[in-house]
Amino acid sequence: MAQNPPKSNQNLNQDSSQTPPKRVIATQEALALISRLTQENNQEHNQETKNADKQSSQIIFVQSGGCCEGSVPICTLRSDFALGEADILIGNIGGADFYLHQSMLEYYKSTQLIIDAKEGFGSEYSLEYGSGWKFELSLRLFGDEEIALLEQ
């Protein structure tokens, strides 16, 4: 995980008097890759079926917990991933819901997840695999005021 998080298109230091900070945000590069993957998968899905099921072609993210691919954000189609009761929706980036397993909530409770896209080879389980791009995760610690807002 990167020590210095990339710049995001969203304000990291939100006005704490209004709303809690977002738990997950994305850089411009990540949003552009999400948009491209969404368009590609919608076109592919529409060619396969006349009655396109928006749910099955919807892109989602699931934060992996380690093991073979390390701790990386996995971008997949909702129809290709069996979400369970322990998969918690923590936000949305570029129209894609972002899920974190309940067992990881405590670990990430004081941090904002920042999703970036860089040139490279991503997880073979993720939609961007083979595109020359990969999604990366970096973290930013929330300040005391932000944590208080999240706990309300």
Task: Provide the domain count of the chain.
Answer: 1
Contact 149, 16 (CB under 8 A): yes
Is the residue at 18 inside a domain?
no
What is the model's pTM? 0.80
Is residue 38 domain-resident?
yes
- Let me know if residue 90 belongs to a domain: yes
Residue 8 lies in a domain: no
Domain of residue 70 covers: 24-43+57-151
**How do the pLDDT tens digits run along the chain, 152 residues long?**
444 444 444 444 445 467 999 999 999 999 999 999 999 888 766 655 555 555 555 899 999 876 655 678 999 999 999 999 999 999 999 999 999 999 998 889 999 999 999 999 878 889 998 899 999 999 999 999 999 999 88
The amino acid at 82: A
Is 48 domain-assigned?
no
Distance, in Å, from the CA atom of 150 to the CA atom of 152, rounded to the nearest integer, reads 6
H/E segment holding residue 150: helix 144-151
Task: At 34, list the tokens.
Answer: 């999400």
Which CATH number goes with the domain that contains 63?
A: 2.60.300.12
Q: How far is CA 47 from the centre of its chain?
A: 27
93 in a domain, yes or no?
yes
Spell out the residues 6+ positions from residue 79 whose beta carbon is closer than 8 angstroms to its own.
53, 55, 56, 57, 58
